[in-house]
A and B are shown apart, each in its own frame.
Chain A
Amino acid sequence: MEKTTVDNKDNRFELLKELLLADDRKDFNVLKEEVLEREKFKVKVTPVLDERIEDLKVNFSDHFGKNITEAIKIQIRESQDEVVEALYPILGKLVKKFIIAEITKLTESINQTINDKFSISQIIKRLFKGKRTDADDVLQEVFEPIIEEIFVINKDSGLLAGNYSRGNIADKDMVSGMLTAIKSFAKDSFSKDGQDIEDIKFENFQLSIQNFKTIYIATATSGVINPDFEEELLEDINNLAEIILRDRSYLIDEEKLNTIIKNIFIKKE
Protein backbone atom coordinates (compact mmCIF):
# COMPACT_ATOMS: atom_id res chain seq x y z
CA MET A 1 0.00 0.00 0.00
CA GLU A 2 2.64 2.33 1.06
CA LYS A 3 4.58 1.66 -2.09
CA THR A 4 1.52 2.49 -4.11
CA THR A 5 1.24 5.76 -2.34
CA VAL A 6 4.85 6.52 -3.05
CA ASP A 7 4.33 5.63 -6.73
CA ASN A 8 1.36 7.88 -6.92
CA LYS A 9 3.38 10.64 -5.33
CA ASP A 10 6.21 10.07 -7.84
CA ASN A 11 3.80 10.20 -10.74
CA ARG A 12 2.26 13.34 -9.44
CA PHE A 13 5.68 14.86 -9.02
CA GLU A 14 6.62 13.94 -12.56
CA LEU A 15 3.31 15.31 -13.77
CA LEU A 16 3.95 18.53 -11.89
CA LYS A 17 7.42 18.75 -13.43
CA GLU A 18 5.90 18.25 -16.84
CA LEU A 19 3.39 21.00 -16.22
CA LEU A 20 5.82 23.48 -14.71
CA LEU A 21 8.82 22.96 -17.05
CA ALA A 22 6.98 22.51 -20.33
CA ASP A 23 7.78 26.00 -21.61
CA ASP A 24 11.40 25.82 -20.44
CA ARG A 25 11.87 22.52 -22.16
CA LYS A 26 10.46 23.95 -25.37
CA ASP A 27 12.91 26.88 -25.16
CA PHE A 28 15.74 24.48 -24.36
CA ASN A 29 14.93 22.36 -27.39
CA VAL A 30 14.84 25.39 -29.66
CA LEU A 31 18.21 26.53 -28.31
CA LYS A 32 19.60 23.02 -28.65
CA GLU A 33 18.44 22.93 -32.27
CA GLU A 34 20.05 26.29 -32.90
CA VAL A 35 23.36 25.23 -31.37
CA LEU A 36 23.36 21.98 -33.27
CA GLU A 37 22.50 23.84 -36.47
CA ARG A 38 25.34 26.29 -35.84
CA GLU A 39 27.80 23.44 -35.26
CA LYS A 40 26.73 21.79 -38.50
CA PHE A 41 27.04 25.18 -40.29
CA LYS A 42 30.45 25.77 -38.74
CA VAL A 43 31.71 22.43 -39.98
CA LYS A 44 30.55 23.27 -43.49
CA VAL A 45 31.64 26.92 -43.61
CA THR A 46 34.96 26.89 -41.72
CA PRO A 47 37.05 25.36 -44.54
CA VAL A 48 35.62 27.87 -47.02
CA LEU A 49 36.31 30.76 -44.65
CA ASP A 50 39.84 29.52 -43.91
CA GLU A 51 40.49 29.29 -47.62
CA ARG A 52 39.18 32.81 -48.15
CA ILE A 53 41.23 34.20 -45.25
CA GLU A 54 44.37 32.58 -46.62
CA ASP A 55 43.60 34.08 -50.03
CA LEU A 56 43.14 37.53 -48.46
CA LYS A 57 46.39 37.21 -46.55
CA VAL A 58 48.28 36.51 -49.76
CA ASN A 59 46.38 38.70 -52.20
CA PHE A 60 45.11 41.52 -50.00
CA SER A 61 46.91 44.22 -51.96
CA ASP A 62 45.53 42.86 -55.25
CA HIS A 63 41.97 42.82 -53.98
CA PHE A 64 41.94 46.10 -52.07
CA GLY A 65 45.15 47.93 -52.99
CA LYS A 66 43.56 50.21 -55.57
CA ASN A 67 40.57 50.99 -53.39
CA ILE A 68 42.69 51.73 -50.34
CA THR A 69 45.10 53.91 -52.32
CA GLU A 70 42.20 55.80 -53.82
CA ALA A 71 40.56 56.17 -50.43
CA ILE A 72 43.81 57.46 -48.89
CA LYS A 73 44.29 59.87 -51.77
CA ILE A 74 40.80 61.24 -51.33
CA GLN A 75 41.25 61.41 -47.57
CA ILE A 76 44.56 63.28 -47.92
CA ARG A 77 43.14 65.61 -50.55
CA GLU A 78 40.17 66.42 -48.39
CA SER A 79 42.16 66.77 -45.18
CA GLN A 80 45.32 68.55 -46.28
CA ASP A 81 45.35 70.79 -43.24
CA GLU A 82 45.10 67.81 -40.89
CA VAL A 83 47.91 65.99 -42.77
CA VAL A 84 50.18 69.02 -42.54
CA GLU A 85 49.32 69.37 -38.87
CA ALA A 86 50.13 65.71 -38.28
CA LEU A 87 53.44 65.79 -40.20
CA TYR A 88 54.55 69.19 -38.99
CA PRO A 89 55.96 68.04 -35.63
CA ILE A 90 57.99 65.28 -37.34
CA LEU A 91 59.30 67.47 -40.17
CA GLY A 92 59.84 70.36 -37.80
CA LYS A 93 61.94 68.14 -35.56
CA LEU A 94 64.05 66.95 -38.51
CA VAL A 95 64.62 70.48 -39.79
CA LYS A 96 65.42 71.67 -36.29
CA LYS A 97 67.86 68.78 -35.80
CA PHE A 98 69.64 69.58 -39.08
CA ILE A 99 69.87 73.31 -38.32
CA ILE A 100 71.19 72.61 -34.82
CA ALA A 101 73.84 70.26 -36.23
CA GLU A 102 74.94 72.82 -38.81
CA ILE A 103 74.98 75.67 -36.27
CA THR A 104 77.00 73.49 -33.90
CA LYS A 105 79.56 72.88 -36.65
CA LEU A 106 79.68 76.60 -37.45
CA THR A 107 79.97 77.51 -33.75
CA GLU A 108 82.85 75.07 -33.28
CA SER A 109 84.59 76.50 -36.30
CA ILE A 110 84.06 80.10 -35.14
CA ASN A 111 85.22 79.24 -31.61
CA GLN A 112 88.36 77.66 -32.99
CA THR A 113 89.04 80.72 -35.11
CA ILE A 114 88.37 83.13 -32.21
CA ASN A 115 90.69 81.12 -29.94
CA ASP A 116 93.38 81.32 -32.58
CA LYS A 117 92.73 85.02 -33.13
CA PHE A 118 93.13 85.86 -29.45
CA SER A 119 96.44 84.11 -29.02
CA ILE A 120 99.34 86.40 -28.10
CA SER A 121 100.93 86.11 -31.54
CA GLN A 122 97.66 86.98 -33.28
CA ILE A 123 97.03 89.97 -30.98
CA ILE A 124 100.45 91.31 -31.93
CA LYS A 125 99.66 90.74 -35.60
CA ARG A 126 96.31 92.53 -35.23
CA LEU A 127 98.08 95.66 -34.04
CA PHE A 128 99.48 95.95 -37.56
CA LYS A 129 96.63 94.66 -39.66
CA GLY A 130 94.94 97.89 -40.83
CA LYS A 131 91.22 98.36 -41.46
CA ARG A 132 89.97 94.77 -41.44
CA THR A 133 87.48 93.88 -38.74
CA ASP A 134 87.45 90.76 -36.57
CA ALA A 135 84.24 89.69 -38.35
CA ASP A 136 86.13 89.78 -41.67
CA ASP A 137 88.86 87.60 -40.18
CA VAL A 138 86.45 85.08 -38.68
CA LEU A 139 84.36 84.83 -41.87
CA GLN A 140 87.43 84.49 -44.03
CA GLU A 141 88.76 81.57 -42.01
CA VAL A 142 85.38 79.83 -41.82
CA PHE A 143 84.64 80.24 -45.53
CA GLU A 144 88.20 80.33 -46.85
CA PRO A 145 88.48 81.44 -50.49
CA ILE A 146 89.66 78.66 -52.77
CA ILE A 147 90.79 78.76 -56.38
CA GLU A 148 88.78 76.05 -58.12
CA GLU A 149 89.73 76.53 -61.78
CA ILE A 150 92.05 78.66 -63.86
CA PHE A 151 91.67 78.80 -67.63
CA VAL A 152 93.99 80.54 -70.06
CA ILE A 153 91.98 80.84 -73.26
CA ASN A 154 92.74 82.14 -76.73
CA LYS A 155 90.48 85.16 -77.15
CA ASP A 156 89.18 84.62 -80.68
CA SER A 157 89.02 80.87 -81.08
CA GLY A 158 88.05 80.04 -77.51
CA LEU A 159 90.65 77.27 -77.58
CA LEU A 160 92.16 76.40 -74.22
CA ALA A 161 95.86 77.16 -73.96
CA GLY A 162 96.36 75.88 -70.42
CA ASN A 163 94.56 75.37 -67.14
CA TYR A 164 94.64 74.39 -63.50
CA SER A 165 91.75 72.45 -62.03
CA ARG A 166 91.23 71.60 -58.36
CA GLY A 167 88.59 68.97 -59.14
CA ASN A 168 87.72 66.98 -62.21
CA ILE A 169 86.22 68.96 -65.02
CA ALA A 170 84.44 66.90 -67.69
CA ASP A 171 85.70 68.47 -70.92
CA LYS A 172 87.74 71.59 -70.25
CA ASP A 173 88.10 72.38 -73.99
CA MET A 174 84.35 72.41 -74.41
CA VAL A 175 83.90 74.52 -71.27
CA SER A 176 86.43 77.03 -72.64
CA GLY A 177 84.58 77.14 -75.94
CA MET A 178 81.19 77.72 -74.31
CA LEU A 179 82.67 80.33 -71.95
CA THR A 180 84.07 82.19 -74.94
CA ALA A 181 80.72 81.94 -76.71
CA ILE A 182 78.85 83.31 -73.68
CA LYS A 183 81.42 86.10 -73.37
CA SER A 184 81.05 87.00 -77.07
CA PHE A 185 77.27 86.89 -76.78
CA ALA A 186 77.27 89.21 -73.74
CA LYS A 187 79.71 91.59 -75.42
CA ASP A 188 77.71 91.66 -78.64
CA SER A 189 74.37 92.10 -76.88
CA PHE A 190 75.02 94.42 -73.96
CA SER A 191 78.38 96.15 -74.07
CA LYS A 192 79.14 99.72 -75.08
CA ASP A 193 82.55 101.09 -76.12
CA GLY A 194 84.40 97.77 -75.99
CA GLN A 195 83.23 96.78 -72.49
CA ASP A 196 83.53 93.10 -71.69
CA ILE A 197 82.11 90.62 -69.22
CA GLU A 198 84.14 90.56 -65.98
CA ASP A 199 82.31 88.48 -63.38
CA ILE A 200 79.80 85.66 -63.40
CA LYS A 201 78.42 84.56 -60.03
CA PHE A 202 76.84 81.19 -59.54
CA GLU A 203 75.78 80.12 -56.03
CA ASN A 204 79.06 80.14 -54.05
CA PHE A 205 81.22 80.21 -57.16
CA GLN A 206 82.58 83.36 -58.68
CA LEU A 207 84.02 83.38 -62.17
CA SER A 208 86.29 86.33 -62.87
CA ILE A 209 87.54 87.13 -66.34
CA GLN A 210 90.59 89.26 -67.10
CA ASN A 211 91.05 90.26 -70.73
CA PHE A 212 94.40 90.71 -72.42
CA LYS A 213 95.45 91.32 -76.01
CA THR A 214 95.21 87.79 -77.45
CA ILE A 215 94.15 85.78 -74.42
CA TYR A 216 91.82 85.99 -71.48
CA ILE A 217 92.25 84.37 -68.10
CA ALA A 218 89.21 83.03 -66.29
CA THR A 219 89.42 82.09 -62.61
CA ALA A 220 86.70 80.28 -60.70
CA THR A 221 86.83 80.76 -56.94
CA SER A 222 84.67 79.63 -54.05
CA GLY A 223 84.30 80.84 -50.46
CA VAL A 224 84.27 84.40 -49.14
CA ILE A 225 86.46 86.54 -51.38
CA ASN A 226 88.07 89.28 -49.31
CA PRO A 227 89.82 92.32 -50.81
CA ASP A 228 93.30 91.00 -49.93
CA PHE A 229 92.68 87.70 -51.70
CA GLU A 230 91.16 89.49 -54.69
CA GLU A 231 94.12 91.86 -54.92
CA GLU A 232 96.65 89.04 -54.71
CA LEU A 233 94.72 86.98 -57.27
CA LEU A 234 94.62 89.91 -59.70
CA GLU A 235 98.33 90.46 -59.25
CA ASP A 236 99.01 86.79 -59.98
CA ILE A 237 96.79 86.89 -63.07
CA ASN A 238 98.66 89.94 -64.37
CA ASN A 239 101.98 88.24 -63.69
CA LEU A 240 100.87 85.14 -65.57
CA ALA A 241 99.60 87.20 -68.51
CA GLU A 242 102.88 89.10 -68.65
CA ILE A 243 104.89 85.87 -68.71
CA ILE A 244 102.70 84.42 -71.50
CA LEU A 245 102.61 87.56 -73.62
CA ARG A 246 106.39 87.99 -73.38
CA ASP A 247 106.98 84.36 -74.37
CA ARG A 248 104.23 83.17 -76.74
CA SER A 249 105.67 79.65 -76.78
CA TYR A 250 103.56 79.07 -73.65
CA LEU A 251 100.46 79.26 -75.86
CA ILE A 252 101.55 76.29 -77.93
CA ASP A 253 102.93 74.17 -75.09
CA GLU A 254 100.06 73.23 -72.76
CA GLU A 255 102.24 71.32 -70.31
CA LYS A 256 104.67 74.19 -69.92
CA LEU A 257 101.81 76.64 -69.40
CA ASN A 258 100.09 74.37 -66.86
CA THR A 259 103.29 74.20 -64.82
CA ILE A 260 103.66 77.97 -64.68
CA ILE A 261 99.97 78.39 -63.76
CA LYS A 262 100.41 75.94 -60.88
CA ASN A 263 103.61 77.62 -59.71
CA ILE A 264 101.95 81.01 -59.58
CA PHE A 265 98.58 80.14 -58.09
CA ILE A 266 98.98 76.97 -56.04
CA LYS A 267 100.42 78.79 -53.01
CA LYS A 268 96.96 80.17 -52.27
CA GLU A 269 95.56 76.82 -51.22
Chain B
Amino acid sequence: MIAKKVLLVGNFGVGKTSLIRRFVLNEFSEEYISTIGVRVSSKIIQIENQEIKLLIWDVAGTSDDEKVPKAYFLGSSAAMYVFDLSREETYKNINAKVDIVKELSGLKNITIIGNKKDLVSSKEIEAIKKLIPFSIDLITSAKENENVEDAFKELAKQTLN
Protein backbone atom coordinates (compact mmCIF):
# COMPACT_ATOMS: atom_id res chain seq x y z
CA MET B 1 0.00 0.00 0.00
CA ILE B 2 1.30 3.45 -0.90
CA ALA B 3 1.20 6.27 1.65
CA LYS B 4 0.68 9.82 0.37
CA LYS B 5 0.88 13.13 2.16
CA VAL B 6 -2.04 15.42 1.35
CA LEU B 7 -2.75 18.93 2.58
CA LEU B 8 -5.99 20.38 3.80
CA VAL B 9 -5.81 24.17 3.92
CA GLY B 10 -8.17 27.07 4.32
CA ASN B 11 -9.13 29.81 6.75
CA PHE B 12 -10.02 29.20 10.35
CA GLY B 13 -13.59 27.92 10.82
CA VAL B 14 -14.29 26.79 7.25
CA GLY B 15 -14.96 23.23 8.42
CA LYS B 16 -11.70 21.44 7.59
CA THR B 17 -11.72 19.57 10.87
CA SER B 18 -15.39 18.63 10.41
CA LEU B 19 -14.63 17.25 6.94
CA ILE B 20 -11.79 15.18 8.38
CA ARG B 21 -13.98 13.96 11.22
CA ARG B 22 -16.57 12.75 8.70
CA PHE B 23 -13.92 11.00 6.67
CA VAL B 24 -11.15 9.55 8.84
CA LEU B 25 -10.89 7.00 11.58
CA ASN B 26 -7.47 7.73 13.03
CA GLU B 27 -6.67 11.19 14.28
CA PHE B 28 -4.59 12.96 16.89
CA SER B 29 -6.08 15.44 19.32
CA GLU B 30 -7.33 18.74 17.90
CA GLU B 31 -5.09 20.50 20.41
CA TYR B 32 -2.17 20.05 18.02
CA ILE B 33 -3.77 22.49 15.58
CA SER B 34 -3.83 25.29 18.12
CA THR B 35 -0.34 24.51 19.48
CA ILE B 36 1.80 23.67 16.46
CA GLY B 37 -0.61 24.65 13.67
CA VAL B 38 -1.10 21.22 12.15
CA ARG B 39 -2.58 17.82 12.83
CA VAL B 40 -2.00 14.61 10.90
CA SER B 41 -4.83 12.12 10.36
CA SER B 42 -4.88 9.00 8.23
CA LYS B 43 -7.38 7.15 6.05
CA ILE B 44 -7.04 4.23 3.65
CA ILE B 45 -8.94 4.79 0.41
CA GLN B 46 -9.46 2.60 -2.67
CA ILE B 47 -8.88 4.41 -5.97
CA GLU B 48 -8.61 2.78 -9.39
CA ASN B 49 -8.10 -0.69 -7.83
CA GLN B 50 -5.32 0.67 -5.71
CA GLU B 51 -5.20 1.14 -1.94
CA ILE B 52 -3.79 4.47 -0.87
CA LYS B 53 -3.13 5.55 2.69
CA LEU B 54 -3.81 9.28 2.83
CA LEU B 55 -1.90 11.12 5.52
CA ILE B 56 -3.95 14.26 5.81
CA TRP B 57 -2.11 17.30 7.15
CA ASP B 58 -4.76 19.69 8.47
CA VAL B 59 -2.87 22.98 8.29
CA ALA B 60 -4.20 25.98 10.22
CA GLY B 61 -3.55 28.76 7.72
CA THR B 62 -2.02 29.45 4.36
CA SER B 63 0.15 32.54 4.41
CA ASP B 64 3.22 33.95 6.14
CA ASP B 65 1.25 36.20 8.46
CA GLU B 66 -0.43 33.13 9.94
CA LYS B 67 2.95 31.85 11.22
CA VAL B 68 2.62 28.36 9.80
CA PRO B 69 5.98 26.68 9.17
CA LYS B 70 6.56 26.41 5.42
CA ALA B 71 7.93 22.90 5.96
CA TYR B 72 4.37 21.65 6.54
CA PHE B 73 3.69 22.11 2.83
CA LEU B 74 6.75 20.19 1.61
CA GLY B 75 6.58 16.74 0.08
CA SER B 76 2.82 16.66 -0.39
CA SER B 77 1.23 14.82 -3.31
CA ALA B 78 -2.05 16.75 -3.36
CA ALA B 79 -3.84 19.58 -1.61
CA MET B 80 -7.40 20.61 -0.90
CA TYR B 81 -8.32 24.25 -0.35
CA VAL B 82 -11.51 24.58 1.67
CA PHE B 83 -13.61 27.72 1.96
CA ASP B 84 -16.88 28.48 3.73
CA LEU B 85 -19.74 29.19 1.30
CA SER B 86 -21.49 31.25 3.97
CA ARG B 87 -18.53 33.57 4.76
CA GLU B 88 -17.28 35.84 2.00
CA GLU B 89 -13.97 36.58 3.72
CA THR B 90 -12.98 32.92 3.27
CA TYR B 91 -13.16 33.12 -0.55
CA LYS B 92 -12.58 36.83 -1.12
CA ASN B 93 -8.84 36.48 -1.83
CA ILE B 94 -8.95 32.80 -2.71
CA ASN B 95 -6.82 33.31 -5.83
CA ALA B 96 -3.88 34.73 -3.89
CA LYS B 97 -4.20 32.14 -1.13
CA VAL B 98 -4.31 29.21 -3.53
CA ASP B 99 -1.22 30.63 -5.26
CA ILE B 100 0.62 30.69 -1.91
CA VAL B 101 -0.27 27.04 -1.29
CA LYS B 102 0.90 26.15 -4.82
CA GLU B 103 4.16 28.00 -4.28
CA LEU B 104 4.88 26.44 -0.87
CA SER B 105 3.91 22.91 -1.86
CA GLY B 106 5.17 22.93 -5.42
CA LEU B 107 1.83 21.49 -6.57
CA LYS B 108 0.32 22.55 -9.89
CA ASN B 109 -3.30 21.68 -9.13
CA ILE B 110 -5.27 22.11 -5.98
CA THR B 111 -8.76 20.76 -5.30
CA ILE B 112 -11.14 23.61 -4.40
CA ILE B 113 -13.95 22.76 -2.02
CA GLY B 114 -16.83 24.99 -0.96
CA ASN B 115 -18.07 23.70 2.39
CA LYS B 116 -21.21 24.36 4.51
CA LYS B 117 -23.62 23.86 1.63
CA ASP B 118 -26.37 23.45 4.20
CA LEU B 119 -26.12 27.15 5.09
CA VAL B 120 -26.67 28.63 1.60
CA SER B 121 -29.26 28.41 -1.17
CA SER B 122 -28.49 27.13 -4.67
CA LYS B 123 -28.98 30.69 -5.96
CA GLU B 124 -26.27 31.92 -3.60
CA ILE B 125 -23.95 29.10 -4.68
CA GLU B 126 -24.36 30.15 -8.31
CA ALA B 127 -23.46 33.74 -7.36
CA ILE B 128 -20.32 32.55 -5.52
CA LYS B 129 -19.27 30.47 -8.54
CA LYS B 130 -19.38 33.63 -10.65
CA LEU B 131 -17.25 35.51 -8.10
CA ILE B 132 -14.44 32.95 -7.89
CA PRO B 133 -11.90 33.07 -10.73
CA PHE B 134 -11.63 29.28 -11.06
CA SER B 135 -14.03 26.37 -10.87
CA ILE B 136 -15.06 24.83 -7.57
CA ASP B 137 -14.36 21.10 -7.69
CA LEU B 138 -17.00 20.10 -5.15
CA ILE B 139 -19.63 21.67 -2.95
CA THR B 140 -19.78 19.82 0.38
CA SER B 141 -21.60 19.76 3.67
CA ALA B 142 -19.68 18.15 6.51
CA LYS B 143 -22.75 18.58 8.69
CA GLU B 144 -25.01 16.61 6.38
CA ASN B 145 -22.21 14.33 5.12
CA GLU B 146 -22.77 15.44 1.54
CA ASN B 147 -19.96 14.91 -1.01
CA VAL B 148 -17.35 14.51 1.77
CA GLU B 149 -16.17 11.08 0.61
CA ASP B 150 -16.11 12.30 -3.02
CA ALA B 151 -13.95 15.28 -2.06
CA PHE B 152 -11.32 13.02 -0.50
CA LYS B 153 -11.55 10.59 -3.44
CA GLU B 154 -10.81 13.53 -5.72
CA LEU B 155 -7.83 14.36 -3.55
CA ALA B 156 -6.61 10.75 -3.64
CA LYS B 157 -6.93 10.74 -7.46
CA GLN B 158 -4.72 13.79 -7.58
CA THR B 159 -1.97 11.96 -5.69
CA LEU B 160 -1.74 9.44 -8.53
CA ASN B 161 -1.18 12.09 -11.20
A residues engaging B (CB < 8 A)? 154-160, 170-171, 173-174, 177-178, 181-182, 184-185, 187-189
B residues engaging A (CB < 8 A)? 3-5, 26-28, 32, 36-42, 53, 55, 57, 69-72, 74-76
List chain B residues, Cβ under 8 A from A181. Answer: 32, 36, 38-40, 57, 72
Q: Sample 22 A-B pairs with CB under 8 A, ordered by A number.
A: A154-B75, A156-B71, A156-B74, A157-B5, A158-B75, A159-B3, A159-B4, A160-B3, A171-B42, A174-B27, A177-B42, A178-B32, A178-B39, A178-B40, A181-B32, A181-B39, A184-B69, A184-B71, A185-B36, A185-B69, A187-B69, A188-B70
List chain B residues, Cβ under 8 A from A171. Answer: 26, 42
Known contacts A157-B76, A159-B5, A178-B40; A173 and B71 CB within 8 A of each other:
no
Q: Which of B5, B37, B69 contacts A177 (CB 8 A)?
A: B5
Query: Which among A156, A181, A182, A188 has the highest number of chain B CB atoms within 10 Å?
Result: A181
Contact B57 A170 (CB under 8 A): no
CB distance from A112 to the nearest CB of B (A): 42
Query: Which residue on B lies nearest to A179, using beta carbons?
Result: B40
Interface SS, B side: strand
List chain B residues, Cβ under 8 A from A155. Answer: 75
Q: Which of B5, B27, B39, B53 contacts A158 (CB 8 A)?
A: B5
- In the assembled complex, the Cα of A198 lies from the Cα of B36 at a distance in Å of 18
List chain B residues, Cβ under 8 A from A157. Answer: 5, 74-76
CB distance from B123 to the nearest CB of A (A): 41
List chain B residues, Cβ under 8 A from A159. Answer: 3-5, 55, 75
- In the assembled complex, the Cα of A154 lies from the Cα of B71 at a distance in Å of 12
- In the assembled complex, the Cα of A159 lies from the Cα of B2 at a distance in Å of 10
Query: Which residue on B lies nearest to A184, using beta carbons?
Result: B71
Known contacts A159-B55, A185-B36; A174 and B42 CB within 8 A of each other:
yes
Q: Which of A156, A173, A182, A188 contacts B55 (CB 8 A)?
A: A173
List chain B residues, Cβ under 8 A from A173. Answer: 3, 42, 53, 55
- In the assembled complex, the Cα of A189 lies from the Cα of B72 at a distance in Å of 13
Closest 10 CB pairs of A and B: A157-B75, A156-B75, A177-B40, A184-B71, A188-B69, A156-B74, A185-B36, A157-B5, A184-B69, A174-B42
CB distance from B105 to the nearest CB of A (A): 10
- In the assembled complex, the Cα of A155 lies from the Cα of B39 at a distance in Å of 17
CB distance from B74 to the nearest CB of A (A): 4
Q: Which of B5, B28, B75 contacts A178 (CB 8 A)?
A: B28
Contact A182 B36 (CB under 8 A): yes
CB distance from B78 to the nearest CB of A (A): 12
**Can you name 9 extra interface pairs (CB under 8 A) apart from A173-B42, A181-B57, A184-B71?**
A156-B75, A159-B5, A159-B75, A160-B3, A171-B42, A174-B27, A174-B41, A174-B42, A181-B38
Contact A174 B28 (CB under 8 A): yes
CB distance from B40 to the nearest CB of A (A): 4
- In the assembled complex, the Cα of A69 lies from the Cα of B146 at a distance in Å of 52
- In the assembled complex, the Cα of A177 lies from the Cα of B39 at a distance in Å of 9
- In the assembled complex, the Cα of A177 lies from the Cα of B76 at a distance in Å of 11
CB distance from B36 to the nearest CB of A (A): 4
List chain A residues, Cβ under 8 A from B28. Answer: 174, 178
List chain B residues, Cβ under 8 A from A184. Answer: 69, 71-72
- In the assembled complex, the Cα of A265 lies from the Cα of B36 at a distance in Å of 32
List chain A residues, Cβ under 8 A from B42. Answer: 171, 173-174, 177
Q: Which of A154, A160, A174, A185 contacts B37 (CB 8 A)?
A: A185
List chain A residues, Cβ under 8 A from B57. Answer: 158, 177, 181
List chain B residues, Cβ under 8 A from A156. Answer: 71, 74-75
Q: Which of A158, A160, A174 contacts B26 (CB 8 A)?
A: A174
